Amino acid sequence: MSAPYLHDVTACFAERIGEGGLTKDAYARLLHGCGPALEQLRRARADGALPFLTLPSRRDDLGPLATLAARYRGAFDDVVVLGTGGSSLGGQAIAALADRGFGPPVGSPRVHFLDNVDPDTFQALFAAVDPARTGVFAISKSGGTAETLCQLAVVIDRLRAALGEDALKRHVAVMTEPKDSPLSRIAERFSLPHIDHDPGLGGRFSVLSTGMLPALLLGLDTAALRTGAAAVLEQALEAKDAAGAAPAVGAAIQVGLANERMVSQSVLMPYCDRLFWFARWYRQLWAESLGKEGNGTTPVDALGTVDQHSQLQLYLDGPADKLFTLVDAGMAEAGRPVDPDILDHPETGYLQGRTMGELFTAESRATAETLIGYGRPVRQIRVERLDEGTLGALFMHFMLETAIAAHLMGVNAYDQPAVEDGKRLTRRYLQGEGVS
C-alpha cells in the first residue's frame, strides 16, 4: 500500500541549496536513529499502546457517532462543537473539506466550532441561532478542561432557559473518558448521550476520533479518512528501512536542520484554502509534542498565496532559520479560464485563457523555486486531489513525523507538563488566591 502523496525533500540538502541545507552525513546519522523509533511504533501498534495507530483500521467505534450524527442532521439547522486544542482543531480541519465558509452541503447542518471562551463570541452565536433547532457536542478527553466546562455550562443555561431542562438530553451530547469527571457528571445529571473518548488517545493525536462527528454531520466519508491514514501507516511501518518511510525522512530533515543549521522554525504553507485549518492543527501537534526541555522548533502556519504578500519578504530576506513545507493540492486544472476580453491589456497577457488553478499552481512553484534560489530549505508535498483519503494520509504523516522527531530529540511526544502550570494558576486566580 503506497502513500497517496509525493514527498520531495531534495531541496533540503546542502548539495542542492548550499550552506543552508542539511549535509548527507548528518542526515544519514539521523535516519539511522529513526529505525528504533519505527520499531517502537510497530510494537505500540501491535499491543495497542498508542490508539492513534490502531484507529485507522477500526470501524466499530463509528456506530454511536453515526447514530448521533443522523439524529442531529434530521433535527437541527446548527450544531455547536465545544472543545479546545486537539478536541477542536482536527474537527475544523476535516470540516473545511465540505464547508468552505459559505455554508454546509445540502442536507447538512451548519457546524460551528467554539474553541475559545470569549463571551462576545458566545453572545453573537446565540443571537444568530434558534435554540430549538440547535444541537451541541462537547469534547474533553479528561472531562475537566476548564474552557470546555465553562462553555458547556453557559450553553446548558441558555438552552434550559429557552427549552426547559427535559430538552437538554435531545440537544446536548458529550465525548469524554469513561470515568468520573466534571463532564461525565454533567452528562449523568442531565441524561446526556455520552460517547467514550479512549483514555489512551491524546487530544492532539485524536483527530481520527474527535473529528468523526463533524465529518459525519457534513456528509464526509469517515472510512476514507481512516483508509488514507492507514495507507501512510502501513507504508511507514512496513518499509524495509527508514529511508522508505516518508514520515521518518521528514523527521530526520526537521531535526537535522535544527541541529546542524540552527533552523528554529517550521513553516507549513499549503496552497489550498481547505488546508488552512490543517496547518493550524499541525501547529499545535508539533509545538505541544516537541517543545520540552529546551527542544523543539516553532511551527508557523501560513497560506499560499495569501502569505506571499505578508510573509514572503521575511522568508526570503530575513533570518535563514526556517524550513518550508509547501503543500500542492492538485489545483492546476480547477477553475474557469480567464476571458481575454475582460483582461484585454498588454500587462495581463499571461493570464488570458489561464485558469485560476493554473495561477495558483504557478505561484506555488514560483515560491518554492524562489526560496530554493535564496538557499532556504524547502520540502514539497503534492497530492493529485484533496479528498477524505488524502487528508487522512496527511494527518497520519504528520502524527508519525512528530512521534519520530520526538524520539530523535529524546522527549515524550504525548505529554505537556509545562502547560499544567498555567492551569493551576488559572484555578488559583478564580478562587481569589494571591500568587507570590
CA pseudo-torsion sign 394, 396, 402, 408: negative
Using alpha carbons, select from 188, 209, 190, 189 the residue that is nearest to residue 199. Answer: 209
Yes or no: say if 324 and 345 are a contact pair by the CB < 8 Å rule.
no
Alpha carbons 243 and 369: distance in angstroms, whole number: 25
Alpha carbons 127 and 106: distance in angstroms, whole number: 23
Beta strands in 125-176 (DSSP E): 134-139, 172-176
Q: Is 288 a catalytic residue?
A: yes
Alpha carbons 371 and 254: distance in angstroms, whole number: 17
- Cell 501560513 belongs to which residue? 302
Instruction: Give exposure, 161-172, as e/b (b: 16+ Cβ within 10 Å).
Output: eeeeeeebebbb
Yes or no: say if 254 and 266 are a contact pair by the CB < 8 Å rule.
yes
Alpha carbons 86 and 197: distance in angstroms, whole number: 13
Q: Is 293 a catalytic residue?
A: no
Catalytic entry in 32, 169, 179, 423: 423
The CA radius of gyration of the chain, in Å to the nearest whole number, is 23
Q: 8: part of which helix (H) or strand (E)?
A: strand 6-11
Alpha carbons 100 and 274: distance in angstroms, whole number: 7
Alpha carbons 21 and 238: distance in angstroms, whole number: 29
Q: How far is CA 304 from CA 67, 256, 358, in A?
A: 38, 26, 14
Q: Is 423 a catalytic residue?
A: yes
Catalytic entry in 147, 177, 288, 401: 288
Catalytic entry in 19, 309, 347, 433: 309
Beta strands in 244-320 (DSSP E): 265-271, 298-301
Active site residues per annotation: 288, 309, 423
